[in-house]
């Protein structure tokens, strides 16, 4: 059974189009790299058809899209401009240790939240990490601005 793009956020199309423009790569090149037909690529990017998740991943891999960063930008932040922000690398690096701590057997985090909504906890942790990254970026920009004027 195919899993189509009905549930895939249309922001992925916009993100991929932005990456195509930034990289100045043709749809034919993407088709060749992803081992998909040019028609499949065009239909996806033009919103004509709904791709499978495997197609979405193949096109992303051909564009060298960082999957976790794309997921965060599209699914969590709902802002594709955040994909190329410097803080995105920091944010995505925080998710791996969080995932390990939640998945580990006997982990204090898992034990403390056994009877609670882990999805809500994850959302709060991600929101906290996003704010932390944004705060650090504001502080760095402020520092850079002060250095330029002295």
Distance CA 106, CA 102 (A): 9
Residue 150 pLDDT > 60: no
38 versus 101: the higher-pLDDT residue is 38
Percent of the chain with pLDDT over 90: 34
Question: What's 149's DSSP letter?
Answer: H
Distance CA 59, CA 62 (A): 5
Residue 3 pLDDT > 60: no
Confidence bin at 5 (pLDDT 50/70/90): very low
> 84: how many CB neighbours lie within 10 A of its CB?
14
Q: What is the reported pLDDT for 1? A: 38
Q: What is the reported pLDDT for 45? A: 92
> 97: how many CB neighbours lie within 10 A of its CB?
9
* Surface-to-core class of residue 51, CB atoms within 10 Å of its CB (0-12 exposed, 13-18 middle, 19+ buried): buried
pLDDT digits (tens, 9 = 90+) for 106-144: 555 555 555 556 566 667 767 777 777 777 777 777 777
Residue 2 pLDDT > 60: no
Between CA 136 and CA 144, with CA 21 as vertex, the angle to 5 degrees is 25
Q: Work out the mean pLDDT of the chain and round it to a whole number.
A: 80
Q: Give the up-direction half-sphere exposure of residue 53: CA atoms within 13 A in the CB hemisphere.
A: 7
Query: Long-range contacts for 114-118 (Cβ within 8 Å, ≥24 apart)?
Result: none
Distance CA 92, CA 70 (A): 10
Q: What is the mean pLDDT of residues 60-78?
A: 91
* Surface-to-core class of residue 63, CB atoms within 10 Å of its CB (0-12 exposed, 13-18 middle, 19+ buried): buried
- pTM value is 0.63
């Amino acid at each position: 059974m195919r899993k189509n793009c009905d549930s895939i956020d249309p922001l992925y199309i916009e993100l991929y189009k932005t990456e195509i423009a930034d990289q100045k790569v043709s749809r034919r090149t993407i088709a060749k790299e992803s081992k998909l037909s040019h028609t499949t690529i065009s239909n996806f990017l033009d919103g004509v058809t709904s791709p499978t998740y495997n197609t979405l991943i193949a096109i992303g891999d051909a564009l060298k899209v960082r999957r976790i960063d794309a997921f965060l930008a599209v699914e969590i932040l709902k802002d594709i401009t955040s994909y190329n922000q410097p803080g995105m690398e920091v944010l995505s690096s925080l998710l791996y240790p969080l995932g390990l701590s939640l998945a580990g057997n006997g982990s204090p985090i898992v034990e403390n939240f056994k009877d609670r909504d882990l999805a809500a906890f994850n959302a709060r942790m991600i929101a906290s990490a996003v704010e932390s990254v944004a705060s650090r970026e504001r502080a760095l920009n402020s520092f850079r601005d002060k250095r330029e004027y002295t």
